[in-house]
Copies of this chain bind each other. A is one copy, B any other.
Protein backbone atom coordinates (compact mmCIF):
# COMPACT_ATOMS: atom_id res chain seq x y z
CA UNK A 1 0.00 0.00 0.00
CA UNK A 2 1.12 3.52 -0.80
CA UNK A 3 1.21 5.08 2.67
CA UNK A 4 1.40 8.80 3.35
CA UNK A 5 4.91 8.25 4.73
CA UNK A 6 6.10 6.74 1.46
CA UNK A 7 4.50 9.53 -0.60
CA UNK A 8 6.22 12.10 1.62
CA UNK A 9 9.54 10.22 1.36
CA UNK A 10 9.30 9.99 -2.44
CA UNK A 11 8.40 13.65 -2.81
CA UNK A 12 11.32 14.68 -0.61
CA UNK A 13 13.73 13.01 -3.06
CA UNK A 14 13.00 15.69 -5.65
CA UNK A 15 15.36 17.83 -3.53
CA UNK A 16 19.12 17.38 -3.47
CA UNK A 17 19.36 17.85 0.30
CA UNK A 18 17.11 14.85 0.93
CA UNK A 19 18.75 12.75 -1.79
CA UNK A 20 22.05 13.28 0.03
CA UNK A 21 20.55 12.58 3.44
CA UNK A 22 18.76 9.43 2.27
CA UNK A 23 21.43 8.35 -0.24
CA UNK A 24 18.60 7.64 -2.68
CA UNK A 25 17.04 8.94 -5.88
CA UNK A 26 13.90 8.51 -7.95
CA UNK A 27 13.37 7.29 -11.50
CA UNK A 28 10.21 7.17 -13.61
CA UNK A 29 8.89 5.45 -16.69
CA UNK A 30 9.28 1.90 -17.86
CA UNK A 31 12.38 2.44 -20.04
CA UNK A 32 14.39 4.25 -17.36
CA UNK A 33 13.34 2.04 -14.43
CA UNK A 34 13.81 -1.22 -16.37
CA UNK A 35 17.28 -0.19 -17.57
CA UNK A 36 18.33 0.72 -14.01
CA UNK A 37 16.99 -2.59 -12.65
CA UNK A 38 18.75 -4.59 -15.38
CA UNK A 39 22.05 -2.73 -14.92
CA UNK A 40 22.17 -3.80 -11.26
CA UNK A 41 24.34 -0.75 -10.62
CA UNK A 42 21.88 0.63 -8.11
CA UNK A 43 20.06 -1.28 -5.39
CA UNK A 44 16.32 -0.78 -5.79
CA UNK A 45 14.45 0.21 -2.62
CA UNK A 46 10.86 0.76 -3.76
CA UNK A 47 8.89 0.12 -6.93
CA UNK A 48 5.45 1.69 -7.35
CA UNK A 49 3.75 0.50 -10.51
CA UNK A 50 0.38 -0.27 -12.00
CA UNK A 51 -0.88 -3.86 -12.18
CA UNK A 52 0.07 -4.31 -15.87
CA UNK A 53 3.67 -3.26 -15.35
CA UNK A 54 4.08 -5.49 -12.29
CA UNK A 55 2.70 -8.54 -14.05
CA UNK A 56 4.77 -7.93 -17.19
CA UNK A 57 8.00 -7.44 -15.24
CA UNK A 58 7.82 -10.27 -12.66
CA UNK A 59 11.29 -11.45 -13.70
CA UNK A 60 12.80 -8.13 -12.67
CA UNK A 61 10.94 -7.66 -9.41
CA UNK A 62 10.60 -11.16 -7.91
CA UNK A 63 13.90 -10.85 -6.07
CA UNK A 64 12.59 -7.91 -4.03
CA UNK A 65 10.76 -8.30 -0.71
CA UNK A 66 7.00 -8.16 -1.21
CA UNK A 67 6.56 -4.86 0.60
CA UNK A 68 8.99 -3.01 -1.66
CA UNK A 69 6.84 -3.62 -4.76
CA UNK A 70 3.71 -1.52 -4.40
CA UNK A 71 0.80 -1.76 -6.79
CA UNK A 72 -0.72 1.66 -7.33
CA UNK A 73 -3.45 3.23 -9.44
CA UNK A 74 -3.15 5.82 -12.22
CA UNK A 75 -4.24 8.72 -9.98
CA UNK A 76 -1.71 7.63 -7.31
CA UNK A 77 1.06 7.55 -9.95
CA UNK A 78 0.02 11.00 -11.07
CA UNK A 79 0.28 12.20 -7.49
CA UNK A 80 3.88 11.12 -6.98
CA UNK A 81 5.08 11.70 -10.55
CA UNK A 82 7.15 14.72 -11.52
CA UNK A 83 6.39 14.20 -15.21
CA UNK A 84 3.60 15.87 -17.16
CA UNK A 85 2.61 12.47 -18.58
CA UNK A 86 3.41 9.89 -15.85
CA UNK A 87 4.48 6.42 -17.00
CA UNK A 88 3.44 3.08 -15.50
CA UNK A 89 6.19 2.84 -12.93
CA UNK A 90 8.05 4.90 -10.37
CA UNK A 91 11.04 3.65 -8.38
CA UNK A 92 13.46 4.63 -5.64
CA UNK A 93 17.07 3.47 -5.96
CA UNK A 94 20.08 3.74 -3.72
CA UNK A 95 22.86 5.97 -4.93
CA UNK A 96 26.15 4.38 -5.80
CA UNK A 97 29.75 5.19 -4.88
CA UNK A 98 31.91 5.43 -7.98
CA UNK A 99 35.62 4.91 -8.45
CA UNK A 100 37.06 5.86 -11.78
CA UNK A 101 40.29 4.70 -13.38
CA UNK A 102 40.69 6.92 -16.43
CA UNK A 103 43.87 5.33 -17.77
CA UNK A 104 43.70 3.23 -20.98
CA UNK A 105 40.32 4.54 -22.05
CA UNK A 106 38.43 7.65 -23.03
CA UNK A 107 36.59 9.58 -20.34
CA UNK A 108 34.52 12.75 -20.29
CA UNK A 109 35.23 15.55 -17.82
CA UNK A 110 32.58 18.21 -17.15
CA UNK A 111 33.42 21.61 -15.73
CA UNK A 112 30.29 23.12 -14.16
CA UNK A 113 27.56 21.73 -16.40
CA UNK A 114 24.46 23.30 -14.84
CA UNK A 115 21.56 22.25 -17.03
CA UNK A 116 19.94 18.91 -16.05
CA UNK A 117 18.93 18.20 -19.65
CA UNK A 118 22.51 18.71 -20.82
CA UNK A 119 24.00 16.39 -18.18
CA UNK A 120 21.39 13.71 -18.89
CA UNK A 121 22.03 13.96 -22.63
CA UNK A 122 25.80 13.75 -22.09
CA UNK A 123 25.35 10.57 -20.01
CA UNK A 124 23.26 9.11 -22.86
CA UNK A 125 25.93 10.14 -25.41
CA UNK A 126 28.69 8.53 -23.31
CA UNK A 127 26.68 5.31 -23.19
CA UNK A 128 26.10 5.43 -26.97
CA UNK A 129 29.83 5.74 -27.72
CA UNK A 130 30.85 3.21 -25.06
CA UNK A 131 32.53 5.80 -22.83
CA UNK A 132 32.39 4.40 -19.31
CA UNK A 133 33.47 7.34 -17.16
CA UNK A 134 32.24 10.87 -16.55
CA UNK A 135 34.18 13.03 -14.11
CA UNK A 136 32.13 16.00 -12.90
CA UNK A 137 33.30 19.12 -11.09
CA UNK A 138 31.60 19.55 -7.74
CA UNK A 139 29.54 22.46 -9.10
CA UNK A 140 27.94 20.36 -11.87
CA UNK A 141 24.21 19.65 -11.49
CA UNK A 142 23.51 16.50 -9.44
CA UNK A 143 23.30 13.43 -11.70
CA UNK A 144 20.53 12.09 -9.41
CA UNK A 145 18.37 15.17 -10.07
CA UNK A 146 15.10 13.69 -11.47
CA UNK A 147 15.41 15.74 -14.68
CA UNK A 148 18.89 14.35 -15.28
CA UNK A 149 17.76 10.79 -14.57
CA UNK A 150 14.90 11.14 -17.09
CA UNK A 151 17.12 12.69 -19.79
CA UNK A 152 19.59 9.78 -19.57
CA UNK A 153 16.88 7.44 -20.93
CA UNK A 154 18.24 4.62 -18.79
CA UNK A 155 21.93 5.17 -19.58
CA UNK A 156 22.60 6.24 -15.97
CA UNK A 157 22.96 2.58 -15.00
CA UNK A 158 25.73 1.98 -17.55
CA UNK A 159 28.04 4.95 -16.97
CA UNK A 160 30.22 5.68 -13.92
CA UNK A 161 29.89 9.23 -12.66
CA UNK A 162 32.29 10.77 -10.16
CA UNK A 163 31.96 14.19 -8.51
CA UNK A 164 35.34 15.51 -7.46
CA UNK A 165 37.73 18.43 -7.44
CA UNK A 166 38.96 18.36 -11.04
CA UNK A 167 42.41 19.85 -10.28
CA UNK A 168 43.06 17.21 -7.59
CA UNK A 169 41.81 14.46 -9.90
CA UNK A 170 44.15 15.53 -12.70
CA UNK A 171 47.09 15.74 -10.30
CA UNK A 172 46.53 12.11 -9.34
CA UNK A 173 46.29 10.68 -12.85
CA UNK A 174 48.82 10.81 -15.68
CA UNK A 175 46.55 11.20 -18.66
CA UNK A 176 46.15 13.63 -21.57
CA UNK A 177 43.21 15.98 -21.52
CA UNK A 178 41.66 17.58 -24.62
CA UNK A 179 39.54 20.67 -24.10
CA UNK A 180 36.51 21.45 -26.27
CA UNK A 181 36.92 25.13 -26.97
CA UNK A 182 37.03 27.79 -29.67
CA UNK A 183 40.33 28.53 -31.44
CA UNK A 184 41.78 25.02 -31.03
CA UNK A 185 42.69 22.33 -33.53
CA UNK A 186 40.02 21.57 -36.13
CA UNK A 187 38.19 18.37 -35.20
CA UNK A 188 38.61 17.12 -38.79
CA UNK A 189 42.39 17.20 -38.38
CA UNK A 190 42.28 15.53 -35.00
CA UNK A 191 43.01 11.81 -35.21
CA UNK A 192 41.29 9.04 -33.28
CA UNK A 193 42.37 8.66 -29.66
CA UNK A 194 42.44 5.55 -27.52
CA UNK A 195 43.12 7.14 -24.18
CA UNK A 196 42.40 10.54 -22.72
CA UNK A 197 39.91 12.92 -21.23
CA UNK A 198 37.54 15.10 -23.28
CA UNK A 199 36.84 18.25 -21.28
CA UNK A 200 33.53 20.12 -21.76
CA UNK A 201 32.90 23.47 -20.08
CA UNK A 202 30.01 25.40 -18.61
CA UNK A 203 27.07 26.36 -20.84
CA UNK A 204 27.81 30.08 -20.78
CA UNK A 205 31.26 30.58 -19.26
CA UNK A 206 33.06 27.68 -20.96
CA UNK A 207 36.06 26.02 -19.28
CA UNK A 208 37.78 27.61 -16.27
CA UNK A 209 41.11 29.21 -17.26
CA UNK A 210 43.18 27.20 -14.77
CA UNK A 211 41.78 23.92 -16.07
CA UNK A 212 42.20 24.93 -19.69
CA UNK A 213 45.89 25.61 -19.02
CA UNK A 214 46.39 21.96 -17.97
CA UNK A 215 45.00 20.53 -21.21
CA UNK A 216 47.29 18.76 -23.69
CA UNK A 217 45.26 19.95 -26.65
CA UNK A 218 42.26 22.01 -27.66
CA UNK A 219 39.60 20.69 -30.04
CA UNK A 220 37.37 22.97 -32.06
CA UNK A 221 34.27 22.15 -34.10
CA UNK A 222 34.47 24.48 -37.09
CA UNK A 223 31.32 26.50 -37.80
CA UNK A 224 30.38 28.50 -40.88
CA UNK A 225 27.37 30.35 -39.55
CA UNK A 226 26.91 33.07 -36.97
CA UNK A 227 25.90 31.13 -33.85
CA UNK A 228 28.29 32.00 -31.01
CA UNK A 229 28.59 28.45 -29.76
CA UNK A 230 27.09 24.98 -29.78
CA UNK A 231 25.09 23.45 -26.94
CA UNK A 232 27.47 21.65 -24.53
CA UNK A 233 25.89 18.21 -25.04
CA UNK A 234 25.86 18.59 -28.82
CA UNK A 235 29.55 19.59 -28.78
CA UNK A 236 30.32 16.55 -26.62
CA UNK A 237 28.47 14.26 -29.06
CA UNK A 238 30.22 15.70 -32.11
CA UNK A 239 33.68 15.39 -30.56
CA UNK A 240 33.13 11.79 -29.45
CA UNK A 241 31.80 10.86 -32.90
CA UNK A 242 35.09 12.05 -34.41
CA UNK A 243 37.70 10.89 -31.90
CA UNK A 244 36.38 7.57 -30.52
Across the interface, do A231 and B121 meet the contact criterion of CB distance under 8 Å? yes
Interface string of A214-241 (1 = CB under 8 A from B): 0000000101111111110111011001
A221 partner residues in chain B, CB cutoff 8 A: 128, 241
**Do B244 and A241 touch (CB < 8 A)?**
no
| A110 interface hit (Cβ, 8 Å) | no
Count chain B CB atoms within 10 A of each CB in A126, A158, A227, A237 and give the residue with the most. Answer: A227
Answer yes or no: A242 CB below 8 A from chain B CBs. yes
Q: Which of B126, B227, B233, B237 contacts A128 (CB 8 A)?
A: B227
Interface residues on A, range: 20 to 34
Residues of B within 8 A of A226 (CB): 127, 155, 158
Interface presence of A129 (CB below 8 A): yes
Q: Say yes or no for A184: interface residue by CB 8 A criterion.
A: no
| Given A241-B187, A241-B241, A121 contacting B234 (CB threshold 8 A) | yes
A225 and B187 contacting across the interface, CB-CB below 8 Å = no
Given contacts A237-B237, A237-B238, A238-B237, contact A244 B224 (CB under 8 A): yes
Query: Residues of A at under 8 Å CB distance from B?
Result: 117, 121, 124-131, 153-155, 158, 187, 221, 223-231, 233-235, 237-238, 241-242, 244
Q: List 22 A-B contacts (CB under 8 A).
A: A124-B230, A125-B231, A125-B234, A127-B225, A128-B221, A128-B225, A130-B223, A130-B225, A131-B225, A153-B227, A158-B225, A158-B227, A187-B241, A221-B241, A230-B237, A231-B237, A233-B234, A234-B234, A234-B237, A235-B237, A238-B241, A241-B241
What would 6 more interface pairs be, CB under 8 Å, given A121-B231, A127-B226, A128-B229?
A124-B231, A127-B227, A129-B223, A129-B224, A221-B241, A234-B234
